[in-house]
């Protein structure tokens, strides 16, 4: 199983580029840069990273068809792929609700919108013309005025059972968000592989990314407290089938959702006990984290994606933890 981390482009472009260069020098297989919120533009930044690295794989983690038209996503990521042949992965998902709201972005069914986007982007990246219309975007005999030379794999980021199956049918990979229990990830992997086989694809044709917070250190209280609030947000926004699979009682999920709708800025252990965090995230000593990550690999993950948050970046040495975990997993 490969290890990867996500670099939030809040720092200057030069600082992010230098961080990725350090990661490549350390042997990091892959880095993700998000196309979310209103941080620095990921495609400009990935182009600069591509031009200053030679081995590390580069992922957009994630783009979404609600805030950027899929043909614009396709032409941007194809341009990055010109500079990083064979090293580029495009993650696509719904993005964050506050971002979509701030832009007045259109709404539409996630699974069908994402399926349409994947098929459209695959067509134009292959030099074809494409026509499709839905509630979010349309292609009217659209095509790109250049033929991309390098392939770009497209991964779906989701926590929705329908979308897991859709991804098994049409995507190159799935970014499975916040399923920290091996038995849960094994179940999700089973859904994806079953859908792939039903679509006539090899069951293992779709790569699986376990996308989780991973916090390592000696002060466990600090680690848990750092992601307690965002764990509450994550549970509140997750599909009930997934939270049920993780063993979180429906009544408690409803309580968490009610609290989060109130706009709270803090939650306590009564609402989000450490055990709930363990069901979504990887927390503990370096050795404990290594064992948990390896168990997710045994459950079907091809790549572990170390997910950041603003709280983690503000309170902890995120880059240092990524390097510690990379070394431990070797």
pLDDT of 175 > 90? The answer is yes
pLDDT in tens, 214-258: 999 999 999 999 999 999 999 999 989 899 989 999 999 999 999
Task: Check residue 203 and give its pLDDT.
Answer: 81
Task: Check residue 192 and give its pLDDT.
Answer: 97
Task: Check residue 95 and give its pLDDT.
Answer: 83
Instruction: Classify domain 2-218+280-329 at the CATH superfamily level.
Output: Luciferase-like domain (3.20.20.30)
| CA dist., res. 202 & res. 210, Å (int) | 20
pLDDT in tens, 192-223: 999 999 999 998 899 999 999 999 999 999 99
pTM for this entry:
0.96
Tokens of 301: 């993950």
pLDDT of 101 > 90? The answer is no
Mean pLDDT, residues 18-45 taken together: 96
Task: Check residue 317 and give its pLDDT.
Answer: 98
Mean pLDDT, residues 142-153 taken together: 94
Tokens of 7: 């670099």
pLDDT of 36 > 90? The answer is no
Task: Check residue 99 and give its pLDDT.
Answer: 87
Mean pLDDT, residues 28-37 taken together: 94
Task: Check residue 194 and give its pLDDT.
Answer: 96
- Check if the beta carbon of residue 297 is closer than 8 Å to that of residue 1: yes
| CA dist., res. 136 & res. 105, Å (int) | 8
H helices, E strands: number in the chain: 15, 11
Task: Return the SS3 of 242.
Answer: helix
Task: Return the SS3 of 248.
Answer: coil
Tokens of 97: 């609700």
Tokens of 327: 């070394």
Q: How confident is the model at residue 97 (pLDDT cuts 50, 70, 90)?
A: confident
pLDDT of 276 > 90? The answer is yes
Q: How confident is the model at residue 287 (pLDDT cuts 50, 70, 90)?
A: very high
- Check if the beta carbon of residue 14 is closer than 8 Å to that of residue 314: no
- Burial (CB < 10 A; 0-12, 13-18, 19+), residue 28, is buried
């Amino acid at each position: 199983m490969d290890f990867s981390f996500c670099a939030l482009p809040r720092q200057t472009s030069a600082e992010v580029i230098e961080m990725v260069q350090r990661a490549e020098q350390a042997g990091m297989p892959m880095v993700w840069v998000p196309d979310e919120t209103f941080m620095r533009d990921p495609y400009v930044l990935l182009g600069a990273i591509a031009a200053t690295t030679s081995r590390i794989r580069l992922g957009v983690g994630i783009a979404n068809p609600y805030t950027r038209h899929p043909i614009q996503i396709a032409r941007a990521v194809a341009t990055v792929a010109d500079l990083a042949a064979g090293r580029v992965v495009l993650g696509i998902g719904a993005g964050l609700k506050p971002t979509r709201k701030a832009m007045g972005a259109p709404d539409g069914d996630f699974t069908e919108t994402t399926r349409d986007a994947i098929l459209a982007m695959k067509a134009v990246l292959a030099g074809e013309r494409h026509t499709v219309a839905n509630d979010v975007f349309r292609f009217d005999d659209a095509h790109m005025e250049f033929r991309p030379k390098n392939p770009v794999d497209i991964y779906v980021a989701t926590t929705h059972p329908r979308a897991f199956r859709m991804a098994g049918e049409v995507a190159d990979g799935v970014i499975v968000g916040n399923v920290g229990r091996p038995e849960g990830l094994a179940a999700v992997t089973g859904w994806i592989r079953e859908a792939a086989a039903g679509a006539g694809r090899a069951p293992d044709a779709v790569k699986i990314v376990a996308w989780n917070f991973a916090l390592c250190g000696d002060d466990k209280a600090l680690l848990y407290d750092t992601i307690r609030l965002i764990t509450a947000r994550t549970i509140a926004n997750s599909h009930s089938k997934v939270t049920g699979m993780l063993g979180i009682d429906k009544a408690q999920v409803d309580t968490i959702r009610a609290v989060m709708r109130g706009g709270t800025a803090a939650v306590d252990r009564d609402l989000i006990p450490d055990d709930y965090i363990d069901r979504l995230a990887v927390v503990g000593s370096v050795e404990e984290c290594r064992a948990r990550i390896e168990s997710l690999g045994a459950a079907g993950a091809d790549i572990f994606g170390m997910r950041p948050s603003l709280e983690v970046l503000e309170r902890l040495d995120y880059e240092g933890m990524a390097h510690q975990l990379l070394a431990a997993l070797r």
